[in-house]
Structures are given as structure tokens and as C-alpha cells.
């Protein structure tokens, strides 16, 4: 009787996003447990993360085709691959586009298919697009989401297939970014793609309200995205060009967090914000919007972090002012944040994932 499992992962790219990082962490952990693991990338963006040599990586690149032709070619390629991989125990996809590809490509096959949503797609798409997406999702055997809150946004016909699993955190990987003593500076840090969902405009406006009272504090925003030019314009218009910096992508985000004193997540909505988890593990006092979903699962307001209303500039400014003024408050919130996040240890969470995927 075979003791290991064959797990094939599918994702649109291996770029520097949170979903990509989670998938690679899962793949690495499964492989170390003795399972046979592969990752198929549909090459939507350039590879950012390193992958263990013992994990097979398969790539398809139809990015030069238009959107419709590209997705059709991806479906054909994935279906051929599914047919050829007769020993696969479960095929797992991450992110909406790849979930569509795998759900359709696997139709009629006797192979377990699990799709994983990493965002609030009911907020990302129109009502009718989201409903169509859910109908395609129903072709899969299971849908994994990260919070109980997000389950409620899906229609009732899909909820019976949904399972909730939080993201694993690789504490060792993060700790290895910080060799020796790390010197902290009066920095407020935010990490994420430069896109509308992250609502950096609120963070910029909030800091601008209190910046004159805290002249030795600055803001660093790490990430890349299509809105870089627009966000830089907001910074310039606020007169914060010398105080708020767009730092681009970093391979050591945890190190940058450890150098900082406050973390802010200003998003309109989330799935399960990995960067907030990482900031909490870094022992940072975190300010996050009480958006759907994720932050309220992680932060108890006033105990291990601070929650603010989505888009509320003045409330965020007040919380920033509170933390910049009080080292004691920063230390107490950061200490409790660290304790809260230890439950997401990669080893135990990955075991729950594997048990769910191959059950």
C-alpha cells in the first residue's frame, strides 16, 4: 500500500504574490513529508520565488495570445496533463483564473480536484460574473477558503463543497531573513500589490494628517503593480514625497518589517492577508481595516492590534498618532500579536491541508 501521495498544484504564475508564496510553502512541506509534488505554472508573470529542486515544475506560456484564446489553450494543456498523470491523487489550483481552467479541464475525469480562492471575489467582480464563476467552481470536488466569514459570500449551492483552512507561516524562512541584531527606525511599513484593493490612498492621507507632529517618522510601501504612477502622484500631491517612499519589491519583506515599528493594512477587502500575519509574527503593532475578510479573524481590537473602519482617514490617522506617540502601546500590542500568530506554524497547518486534500 502506497504511503505517500501525489499532489499536483496549478497556479497562474510563480511571482511575488501572497497566494504564490503559500502554494510554494505547501508544496515544499508536502515534499518534505515524503509526498510526490509538482507545480504547474501558467506563466502569467515572471517567477519570483525559489522552488526546491525535488519539486517538479511544469510551465505553459500562452500569455502572447489574447485572453480568450489564452484560457482555451491553458484548458487544453491542463486537460492533457491531467490525463497523463495517472498516479495523481489530487489536483489543486490557486486563484480565480487557474481555478476556472482546472475545473473545466477536469470535467468527466475520475480525479479529485480542489480549488482554492485567496480573495473576496464577490467584491472583486460584478454580481453576475461572480455567480458564473461559482457555477464553474461547482464542477470541482472542493473549494478551500481561509475564513468562516468569507464562506457566507458564496451562494448556498456551493457552500456544501467549501472547507476552511488558514494559511501556513514558515517561521524558519522568515527568521532566516534576520541575521544578527536588527536596528529599528521610526518607520511605518505596508506591503502589498500597488492596486485599488489595497487602498494606499487612505494610508497616505492618514499619515499626511499627523506627519507634521511626527517629523522623525516615515512611511515605506513595498510592492509593485499597475497603480504605481497614480499612487506616487497621490504622495506628491499630499506633499509627502520625502516622507512616503514606494520601495518596489523586496526578497526580504520580513527583515523590512523587523526594521520598522508599525505595520498598516489599509485594504478595502482581503481573503486572508499573509502580510498581516507576517507583521504580527515580527512583533509589530498592526493597524488594519476591519474589512471582509481576514483582519477580524486575526486581530482583537485593542488587544493584539488595532482595527479601523474601511476608508476612514481620520480614524486611521488617530491610530497612527496613538502608536507613534507611545512606545509602551507599540510593545504591548506587538507582543500579543506575536503570541496570536504562533498557531499558524507551517508544520501543523500544512498537515491539516494535506489531510484535507487527500481525504
HEC string for the chain:
CCCCCEEEEEECCCCCCHHHHHHHHHHHHHHHCCCEEEEEECCCCCCCCCCCCCCEEEECCCCCCCHHHHHHHHHHHHHHHHHHCCCCCEEEEECHHHHHHHHHHCCCCCCEEEEECCCCHHHHCCHHHHHHHHHHHCCCCEEEECCHHHHCCCCHHHHCCEEECCCCECHHHHHCCCCCCCCCCCEEEEECCCCHHHCHHHHHHHHHHHHHHCCCCEEEEECCCCCHHHHHHHHHHCCCCCCEEEEECCCCHHHHHHHCCEEEECCCCCCCCHHHHHHHHCCCCEEEECCCCCHHHHCCECCCEEEECCCCHHHHHHHHHHHHHCHHHHHHHHHHHHHHHHHHEHHHHHHHHHHHHCC
* C-beta of residue 295 within 8 angstroms of C-beta of residue 265: yes
Write down the pLDDT at residue 283. 97
Q: Per-residue pLDDT for 156 more than 80?
A: yes
Spell out the domains of the chain, with CATH numbers in brackets: 6-164 (3.40.50.2000), 177-343 (3.40.50.2000)
Q: Which of 36-40, 120-124, 175-179 has the lowest mean pLDDT?
A: 120-124
> Do you find a cis peptide bond into 30, omega within 30 degrees of 0?
no
For residue 4, what pLDDT band results from cuts at 50, 70 and 90? low
Residue 141 is placed in which grid cell?
Answer: 470536488
Mean pLDDT of 260-270: 96
Q: Which of 18-22, 138-142, 156-160, 257-261 has the lowest mean pLDDT?
A: 18-22
Q: Output the average pLDDT for the chain.
A: 93
- Whole-angstrom Cα distance, residue 354 to residue 4? 11
* C-beta of residue 225 within 8 angstroms of C-beta of residue 248: no
Maximum Cα interatomic distance, the chain, rounded to a whole number of Å: 68
Q: Per-residue pLDDT for 19 more than 90?
A: no
Sign of the CA dihedral with 178 first, then 214, 205, and 234 last: negative
Sign of the CA dihedral with 288 first, then 290, 291, and 292 last: positive
Q: Per-residue pLDDT for 3 more than 70?
A: no
- Across the strands, what pairs with 39? 9, 57
* C-beta of residue 244 within 8 angstroms of C-beta of residue 204: yes
- Whole-angstrom Cα distance, residue 267 to residue 196? 8
Report the residue count for the chain: 359
Report the 10 Å Cβ neighbour count for 72: 14
Residue 109 is placed in which grid cell?
Answer: 475525469
φ/ψ (deg, to 5) at 44: -85, -25
Q: What pLDDT, in 10s, does the model give residues 289-316?
A: 999 888 999 999 999 999 999 999 999 9
For residue 44, what pLDDT band results from cuts at 50, 70 and 90? low
- Whole-angstrom Cα distance, residue 222 to residue 347? 28
Q: Per-residue pLDDT for 1 more than 50?
A: no
Q: What pLDDT, in 10s, does the model give residues 216-264?
A: 999 999 999 999 999 999 999 999 999 999 999 999 999 999 999 999 9
Amino acid at each position: 500500500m502506497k504511503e505517500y501521495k501525489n499532489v499536483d498544484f496549478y497556479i497562474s504564475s510563480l511571482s511575488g504574490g501572497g497566494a504564490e508564496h503559500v502554494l510554494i510553502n505547501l508544496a515544499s512541506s508536502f515534499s518534505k513529508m515524503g509526498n510526490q509534488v509538482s507545480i504547474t505554472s501558467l506563466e502569467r508573470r515572471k517567477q519570483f520565488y525559489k522552488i526546491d529542486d525535488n519539486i517538479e515544475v511544469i510551465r505553459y506560456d500562452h500569455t502572447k495570445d489574447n485572453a480568450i484564446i489564452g484560457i482555451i489553450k491553458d484548458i487544453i494543456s491542463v486537460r492533457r496533463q491531467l490525463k497523463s498523470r495517472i498516479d495523481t491523487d489530487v489536483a489543486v489550483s490557486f486563484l480565480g483564473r487557474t481555478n476556472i481552467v482546472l475545473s473545466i479541464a477536469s470535467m468527466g475525469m475520475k480525479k479529485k480536484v480542489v480549488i482554492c480562492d485567496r480573495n473576496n471575489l464577490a467584491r472583486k467582480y460584478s454580481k453576475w460574473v461572480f455567480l458564473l464563476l461559482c457555477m464553474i467552481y461547482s464542477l470541482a470536488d472542493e473549494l478551500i477558503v481561509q475564513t468562516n466569514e468569507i464562506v457566507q459570500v458564496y451562494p448556498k449551492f456551493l457552500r456544501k463543497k467549501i472547507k476552511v483552512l488558514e494559511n501556513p507561516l514558515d517561521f524558519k524562512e522568515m527568521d532566516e531573513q534576520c541575521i544578527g541584531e536588527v536596528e529599528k527606525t521610526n518607520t511605518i511599513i505596508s506591503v502589498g500589490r500597488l492596486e485599488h484593493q489595497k487602498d494606499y490612498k487612505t494610508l497616505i492621507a492618514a499619515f499626511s494628517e499627523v506627519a507634521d507632529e511626527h517629523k522623525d517618522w516615515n512611511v515605506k510601501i513595498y510592492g509593485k503593480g499597475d497603480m504605481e504612477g497614480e499612487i506616487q502622484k497621490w504622495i506628491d500631491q499630499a506633499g509627502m514625497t520625502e516622507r512616503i517612499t514606494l520601495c518596489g519589491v523586496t526578497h526580504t519583506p520580513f527583515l523590512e518589517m523587523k526594521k520598522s515599528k508599525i505595520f498598516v493594512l489599509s485594504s478595502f477587502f482581503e481573503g486572508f492577508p499573509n502580510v498581516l500575519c507576517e507583521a504580527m509574527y515580527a512583533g509589530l503593532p498592526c493597524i488594519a481595516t476591519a474589512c471582509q475578510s481576514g483582519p477580524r479573524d486575526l486581530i482583537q481590537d485593542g488587544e493584539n492590534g488595532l482595527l479601523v473602519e474601511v476608508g476612514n482617514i481620520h480614524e486611521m490617522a488617530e491610530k497612527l498618532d496613538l502608536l507613534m506617540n507611545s512606545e509602551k502601546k507599540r510593545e504591548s500590542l506587538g507582543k500579543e500579536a506575536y503570541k496570536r500568530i504562533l498557531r499558524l506554524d507551517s508544520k501543523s497547518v500544512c498537515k491539516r491541508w494535506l489531510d484535507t486534500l487527500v481525504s
